[in-house]
């Protein structure tokens, strides 16, 4: 769905929003001065993302190669997973909260215009990525949540639909049957049957324009109203036109505490490669983690992943825990990368064996 300013100017008036012309993207300079240092910019058409974004980064690069905006391309990329009922961590078919209701979160940033948009606890709309982008394009706000985010989407013409598939419903019912009176909401036992999952894409054009987006159905069986890191600017994703972009999947609460994606971009600003910046962010997460979530060796009982690219045309990814040999044999510990004509999975670095 394309959110045209002209198409929705009447709706925006009803919402109390003053429309304005969106600034046009500007190309990055070959060298960007940042304080006492500088970054040599050598951008290329490139997209990186979570492992489940392989089809998405390929689509994003194809669109950017045709001259499309990086955020438009990234949104179209993540929509593949949002609309896929077999991806139970995103959009339609995502696992519900503890009451059996699917609540979705998403956020995005646009480097050229220095703008951002996000939605949290959105119900009944298959593509929260598009609603987050509409917040960015059409309002003076950054985040809308809950029923009001849904009202905003409906006023823009999005269709309300039932997002709970039979497969997700059966998984929720199995979870409910395994509950007992002593269960609580503290997920400090790695055997707890909760799951996380998200899709992220960072995209860069050959001109050096950057866009980023992260979208999710959040922690499975969460308390209604829980918001993770995905819709939080600087946590679930972050981009800076002068430096690069980063995003995350995994335990959202840990990532929020570390402002992880922002930290990755700042480490790249200081000169670290994307991979090293991702590892630095993971180390920061460990330092910010409360003791109940660490094992006897000080290692987290949860996993977290970062993905990043910079304006030098470099990319990288890192995960908290080394995948098992079986997982590695099945493609675990990888992230999606696409350049023109070449979409693939690349191995991630890891912080702990």
| Contact criterion met (CB below 8 Å) for 5 and 156 | no
- Which residue among the candidates 198, 214, 289, 334 is catalytic per the annotation? 198
Calpha distance 266→259 (Å, rounded): 11
Hey, what domains does the chain have and what are their CATH numbers? 43-86+164-175+193-214+226-352 (3.60.20.30)
Query: In the chain, which stretches have pLDDT less than 70?
Result: 1-38, 181-195
- Return the pLDDT at 197: 79
pTM of the model: 0.88
Q: Give the 3-state DSSP-derived string for 305-322, with helices as H, strands as E and coil as C.
A: EEEEEECCCCEEEEEEEC
- Return the pLDDT at 29: 43
Strands 143-145 and 115-122: parallel
Handedness of CA 46, 203, 270, 240 (dihedral sign): positive
- Return the pLDDT at 23: 40
Terminal C-alpha separation, the chain: 43
- Return the pLDDT at 232: 98
- Return the pLDDT at 337: 98
| Contact criterion met (CB below 8 Å) for 279 and 252 | no
Give catalytic status of residue 198 as yes or no: yes
Q: What is the pLDDT of residues 187-207, one digit of tens each?
A: 554 444 556 779 999 999 999
Q: What is the pLDDT of residues 65-101, one digit of tens each?
A: 999 999 999 999 999 999 999 999 999 999 999 999 9
- Return the pLDDT at 5: 46
């Amino acid at each position: 769905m394309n959110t045209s300013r002209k198409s929705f100017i009447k709706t925006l008036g009803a919402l109390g929003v003053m429309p304005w012309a969106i600034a046009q993207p500007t190309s990055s300079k070959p060298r960007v001065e940042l304080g006492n240092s500088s970054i040599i910019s050598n951008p290329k058409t490139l997209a990186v993302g979570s492992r489940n974004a392989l089809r998405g980064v390929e689509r994003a690069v194809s669109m950017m190669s045709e001259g499309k905006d990086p955020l438009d391309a990234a949104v179209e990329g993540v929509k593949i997973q949002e609309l896929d009922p077999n991806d139970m961590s995103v959009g339609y078919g995502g696992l519900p909260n503890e009451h059996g209701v699917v609540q979705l979160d998403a956020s995005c940033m646009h480097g050229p215009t220095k703008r951002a948009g996000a939605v949290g606890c959105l119900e009944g709309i298959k593509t929260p990525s598009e609603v987050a982008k509409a917040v960015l394009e059409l309002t003076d706000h950054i985040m809308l949540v809950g029923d009001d985010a849904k009202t905003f989407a409906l006023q823009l013409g999005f269709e309300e639909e039932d997002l709970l598939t039979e497969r997700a419903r059966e998984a929720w019912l199995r979870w409910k049957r395994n509950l007992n009176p002593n269960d609580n909401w503290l997920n400090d036992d790695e055997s707890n049957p909760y799951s996380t999952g998200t899709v992220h894409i960072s995209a860069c054009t050959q001109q050096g324009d950057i866009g980023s987006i992260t979208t999710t159905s959040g922690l499975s069986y969460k308390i209604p109203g829980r918001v993770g890191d995905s819709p939080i600017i600087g946590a679930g994703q972050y981009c800076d036109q002068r430096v690069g972009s980063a995003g995350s999947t995994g335990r959202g609460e840990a990532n929020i505490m570390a402002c992880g994606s922002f930290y990755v971009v700042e480490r790249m600003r200081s000169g670290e490669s994307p991979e090293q910046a991702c590892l630095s962010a993971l180390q920061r997460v460990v330092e910010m983690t409360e003791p109940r979530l660490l094992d006897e060796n000080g290692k987290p009982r949860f996993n977290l992943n970062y993905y990043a690219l910079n304006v030098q045309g470099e990319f990288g990814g890192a995960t908290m825990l080394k995948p098992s040999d079986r997982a590695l044999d099945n493609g675990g510990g990888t992230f999606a990368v696409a350049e023109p004509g070449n979409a693939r999975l690349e191995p991630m670095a890891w912080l702990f064996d």
